Chains A and B, each alone.
Chain A
Amino acid sequence: MSNLKNPISITANNLLDGEAVWLGSNGHWVKSVDSARAFFTEEERKIAEHAAARADAENLVVEPYEIEVKMEEGAPVPLKFRERIRAQGPTIRLDLGKQADIQSQAAAA
């Protein structure tokens, strides 16, 4: 069992609204990278690829691909800046994208 250089997650865009999503546990697609599943080995990667291809074929999501992540407090954080922006929203409009949802949820709580 070979370990990957960095763990990976699978991301895609939702078919209906184009929103960024990640493959979570049990093959569900989640809206927050915090809940994404991280895959650590080649074997796991095969499972991930398989799940991604199936979701693509079932037209749940659009163009799934693999991203490298690092684990922070048990949750995956994308290594690439581009992927961190996808996970949050435009850096210049904090009122838009996922970061806005998180903020408004926090405010409502």
Chain B
Amino acid sequence: MYRYDEFDREFVAARVAQFRDQVARRISGELSEDNFKPLRLHNGVYLQLHAYMLRVAVPYGTLNSSQMRMLAHIARKYDRDYGHFTTRQNIQFNWPKLADIPNILEDLATVEMHAIQTSGNCIRNVTADHFAGAASDEVADPRPYAEILRQWSTIHPEFLHLPRKFKIAVIGSSNDRAAMQFHDIGLEVRKNDAGELGLRVFVGGGLGRTPMVGKLIRDWLPEEDMLSYCEAILRVYNLYGRRDNKYKARIKILVHETGLEELKKDIEAEFDRIRDSVLKLPEDDVEAIRAYFAPPDFATLPAEDSGLKQAKLDDRSFARWVDQNVSEHAQSGYGIVTVALKDTGEAPGDATSAQMDVLADLGQDYSHDELRVSHEQNVILPHVKLSDLPVVYQALTEAGMASPNAGLITDIIACPGLDYCALATARSIPVAQELSQRFADLDRQNEIGELKLKISGCINACGHHHVGHIGILGVDKRGEEMYQVTLGGSADEQAAVGEIVGRGFSSDEIGNAVETIVNTYLTKRLADDETFLDAYRRLGALPFKEALYPAKEAA
């Protein structure tokens, strides 16, 4: 795995020292909040409803067990014994004291983590497929590219004051597990006929107030040109992106208002100008970074494990968990384990320090010291021997993390919402909890099949509601929480923004509304294997509308 170089180490240490000084001056009254706020935001410190909140980046979602253990330590020592994994492959601590935050950052730096660029109008944490380096369908590991982008974008002086924040995602497979097309830049690693690696480039995707699917700007970009091309995009955006209106400042609006072809001319012109400059990636450098992400020392194993087979026969719960939460690994005899932080009635993405410690131990003992955080608010053990699955399952069960619901209706994404977030218009976690209880029956969940339910507590859409097969947006209507439902969104390779189905529902009604939608799907689907999304695409919104809003008898 990639290790910090001297530059990173010194830079992060200097930043921690600098922030310690700034916090001290804030507390002594030397700095006013007006002066301090931009400084704290640069270090990932927000002020929420009940306390400060610290957002820590997990670059491209990859972490090792000592890093996970450190997150547990921070939750235990400085916070209220838990952390919240977010849709941005970050972790948030909800209760740190201001004076403790420099110490937290210092602790994080010992495991090469930090909170820099987790806020503000800069290039944010670069995200990637959480199955990177493990998935059987992968063309190449996307993380070396994400790491190169991370190095390039970290305190890039030209891009620290963009019109608005900027998010980049990289995937290495044609199956998009990272909502790549909903990022300002989305990159898909691919191979051409000559066997060379390159990238497909999307630009202008995003969620929030104005959701947009990213537009394909380059079907093929040689690997060596990745940074030059991204720099060209950022430069054109930095020049033309709107700074007069926060709601129109993202690159998606620029792409939309200018038109892709027009903007592409500028980007390509800038790219031509700089493509042979210092940003050209020398093959050796790419190889050196790739080496950090070299696959671990896998054992040579048969594709099937007889012990596993027997264990599945012996224990129906275990079998269910394996079938639902273990995905195919590129290496024979291994599996990718999705640890769903979605136990019935729990807040999606929350993990206690004890649970994080268990995850760290499991990562160390059974997954070649690797863990991942997914944008679906789950933790992944990417390299588990099939023969180790029973003991991993046992440990997860004891720690309350063995929900066999990955990809099912209760594998809900929900943002913190009005229980924590200063920007929220309604709560999201209680809705997630109610739905998770309502659909807790596993047979029913399996009958329903793949269904992505996503909830945001305001239009900023951190809960990705626009791309939920069923999306729920909490709004404030004259002081009451109301929930607007969208249907048919999708964050995968067939990216789509969901359509608003009709008037919103109160907090008392929203559970029944989802139930009605699900029941409508179950009665209308052509076969058991027609997924909710497929059925919706075939049927359109009408049958769901009719079921949700029956015409009044008299009308």
Contact = CB atoms under 8 A, between A and B. Distances in A.
Interface of A: 13, 15-20, 56-59, 62-63, 79-82, 85-86, 89-93, 96-97
Contacts of B480: 81
A17 B52 contact: yes
Given A18-B48, A18-B51, A58-B29, A85 B419 contact: yes
Interface residues of B, number: 29
Given A18-B98, A56-B33, A58-B29, A90 B420 contact: yes
Interface string B249-262: 00000000000000
Contacts of A16: 27, 97-99
Interface of B: 26-27, 29, 32-33, 47-52, 80, 95, 97-99, 347, 418-420, 424, 427, 429-430, 433, 476, 479-481
A92 B52 contact: no
A13 to B, nearest CB: 6
Contact of B47 (A56, A63, A80, A92): A63
B288 to A, nearest CB: 43
Contact of B26 (A59, A80, A86): A59
A86 B429 contact: no
A15 B27 contact: yes
A96 B95 CA distance: 10
A51 B476 CA distance: 31
Contacts of A59: 26-27, 29, 32-33
A58 B95 CA distance: 24
Most buried by A among B32, B33, B481: B33
Contacts, number: 71
Given A62-B33, A82-B424, A17 B419 contact: no
B97 A81 contact: no
B304 to A, nearest CB: 43
Given A16-B98, A17-B98, A86 B427 contact: no
Main secondary structure of the interface of A (DSSP, over half): loop
Given A17-B51, A58-B29, 18 more contacts: A13-B51, A16-B27, A17-B97, A18-B48, A18-B98, A19-B51, A59-B29, A63-B33, A63-B47, A80-B479, A82-B49, A85-B419, A86-B49, A86-B50, A90-B419, A92-B347, A93-B347, A96-B95
Contact of A97 (B27, B47, B50, B429): B50
Nearest to B433: A92
B47 to A, nearest CB: 6
Contacts of B430: 91-92
A62 B32 CA distance: 9
A32 to B, nearest CB: 14
Contacts of A58: 29
A20 B50 contact: yes
Contacts of A96: 50, 80, 95
Nearest to B99: A16
A67 to B, nearest CB: 13
Contacts of A93: 347, 419
17 contacts: A16-B98, A16-B99, A17-B98, A18-B51, A18-B52, A18-B97, A56-B33, A57-B32, A59-B27, A63-B33, A63-B47, A80-B479, A81-B481, A85-B418, A86-B49, A93-B419, A96-B95
